[in-house]
């Protein structure tokens, strides 16, 4: 079974994904790291080539993962929101949305240094407004996940919650 972790930037997809993979004895793949192996750092590529070019590479990587071996896959925050990516993930695996309360999410994003392509150069009120705008645009996509897990605890506890969901899905 493939397990796709979706959610907003800084929602813990990569950190928790590694733990889930270890708990389930599965490989872990981070889509953003695979993309970086092909194009180099994401932010300069995004700024030079544009979002459409980035999303094209992202979809190509997803295509390969959809036919690859079972794994726990951390997607990019926007991966499920473009093309037919979400529907393809839903057909080939279990899609789990990691939802983070805003009071936890905002400080994480602020600590990440504003190097995210869609937030580049923003801070303070402008950053908060852009985050709310993006969350609004993506809400329906995230809500279409097979399951939602609240990421409001330690990564280890949240990973166990996700692993339990996967085990239950495998038993069906």
Q: What CATH number did the domain enclosing 81 receive?
A: 3.40.50.300
End-to-end CA distance of the chain: 12
- Report helix, strand and coil shares of the chain as percent, to nearest 5: 60, 15, 25
Q: What Cα–Cα distance (Å) separates residue 85 from each residue in 16, 24, 55, 138, 144?
A: 21, 24, 10, 13, 12
Whether the pLDDT of residue 139 is over 90: the answer is yes
For residue 144, what pLDDT is reported? 98
Whether the pLDDT of residue 94 is over 90: the answer is yes
Q: Is the pTM of this model over 0.75?
A: yes
Q: What is the pLDDT of residues 17-50, one digit of tens each?
A: 999 999 999 999 999 999 999 999 998 998 899 9
For residue 71, what pLDDT is reported? 98
Average pLDDT over residues 164-171: 93
For residue 115, what pLDDT is reported? 67
Q: In the chain, what percentage of residues exceed pLDDT 70?
A: 98
Average pLDDT over residues 113-134: 84
Number of compact structural domains in the chain: 1
For all residues of the chain together, what is the average pLDDT? 94
Please give the residue range of the domain that contains residue 140.
2-171
* 84 Cβ neighbours under 8 A, 6+ residues apart: none
Alpha-carbon distance of 11 to 100, in angstroms, equals 6
For residue 13, what pLDDT is reported? 97
Q: What is the pLDDT confidence band of residue 114, given thresholds at 50, 70 and 90?
A: low
């Amino acid at each position: 079974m493939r397990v796709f972790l979706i959610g907003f930037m800084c929602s813990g997809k990569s950190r928790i994904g590694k733990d889930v993979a270890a708990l389930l004895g599965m490989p872990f793949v981070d889509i953003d790291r695979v993309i970086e192996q092909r194009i180099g750092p994401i932010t300069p590529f995004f700024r030079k080539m544009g979002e459409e070019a980035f999303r094209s590479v992202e979809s190509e990587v997803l295509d390969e993962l959809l036919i690859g071996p079972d794994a726990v896959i951390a997607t990019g925050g926007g991966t499920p929101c473009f093309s037919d990516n979400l529907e393809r993930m839903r057909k080939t695996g279990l899609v789990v949305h990691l939802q983070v309360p805003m009071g936890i999410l905002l400080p994480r994003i602020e600590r990440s240094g504003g190097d995210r392509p869609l937030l580049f150069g923003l801070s303070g009120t402008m950053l908060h407004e852009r985050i709310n705008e993006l969350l609004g645009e993506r809400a329906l996509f995230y809500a279409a996940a097979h399951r939602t897990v609240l990421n409001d605890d330690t990564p280890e506890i949240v990973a166990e919650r996700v692993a339990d969901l996967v085990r239950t899905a495998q038993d069906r």
